[in-house]
């Protein structure tokens, strides 16, 4: 390869490439299709976490776990479990089925409550963690005078 050919190739490459960095975004797709698969903003995380928290509170308040709501006896058995025990005591197979239904309901209700709590806690944690990481990255990538780090300095991180 001749020297002038090499210089031409270098000049073409320099014209095509840019020396800037793009964070947390995808270039706009002028065709309207095939854009980003997932885009999440801090506000989105907070809103979903809040809704999970609200749902948890509402379910916890209104779900009669183990049938122990308003009609609980001294042992803590709710009206549904009391009915199941009475039916079983009188020889009705429905009593055992009703008891099983309460056990399955209780298990499923607790699973949904646990999932809501997990989602709420995780998204709150994620939102806080990302904000801390953004602040840390911003502090690291600034010069002593507060100005943005130069492109040549940033380029060192990629080698």
Structure tokens at 62: 């209104």
pTM given for the model: 0.49
Q: What is the chain's length?
A: 159
Exposure b/e, 82-91, CB count within 10 A at least 16 = b: ebbbebbeee
Q: Which of 13-22, 61-70, 140-149 has the highest mean pLDDT?
A: 140-149
pLDDT per residue as tens digits for the range 5-37: 878 887 887 777 655 555 555 555 555 444 555
Residue 76: predicted pLDDT: 63
* String of DSSP letters for 48-79: HHHHHHHHHHHHHHH--GGG-STT--TTS--H
- Separation between Cα atoms, residue 128 and residue 64, nearest integer Å: 34
Mean pLDDT across the chain: 75
Structure tokens at 115: 């999932």
Q: Domain ranges for the chain, please list them.
A: 40-124
pLDDT per residue as tens digits for the range 45-61: 778 888 888 999 888 88
Query: With bands split at pLDDT 50, 70 and 90, how would you rate the model's confidence at 86?
Result: very high
Give the CA distances from residue 35 to residues 13, 25, 42, 67, 85, in Å, rounded to whole numbers and listed in that order. Answer: 27, 11, 20, 49, 59
More confident residue, 97 or 16: 97
- Separation between Cα atoms, residue 65 and residue 128, nearest integer Å: 33
Residue 66: predicted pLDDT: 58
Give the CA distances from residue 56 to residues 42, 46, 51, 150, in Å, rounded to whole numbers and listed in that order. Answer: 21, 15, 8, 48
**Lowest mean pLDDT segment, chosen from 68-72, 74-78, 128-132, 140-144:** 68-72
Residue 131: predicted pLDDT: 75
- 3-class DSSP assignment, residue 23: coil
């Amino acid at each position: 390869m001749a020297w002038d050919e090499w210089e031409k190739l270098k000049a073409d490459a320099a014209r095509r490439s840019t020396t800037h960095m793009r964070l947390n975004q995808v270039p706009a797709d002028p065709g309207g299709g095939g854009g980003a698969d997932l885009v999440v903003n801090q506000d989105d995380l907070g809103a979903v976490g809040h809704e999970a928290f609200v749902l948890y509170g509402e379910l916890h308040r209104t779900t009669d776990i183990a049938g122990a709501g308003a009609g609980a006896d001294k042992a803590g058995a709710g009206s549904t479990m009391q009915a199941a025990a009475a039916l079983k005591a009188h020889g009705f197979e429905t009593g055992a089925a009703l008891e099983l239904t309460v056990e399955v309901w209780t298990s499923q209700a607790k699973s949904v409550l646990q999932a809501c709590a997990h989602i709420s806690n995780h998204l709150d944690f994620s939102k806080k963690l990302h904000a801390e990481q953004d602040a840390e990255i911003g502090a690291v990538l600034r010069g002593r005078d507060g100005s943005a780090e130069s492109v040549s300095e940033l380029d060192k991180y990629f080698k």
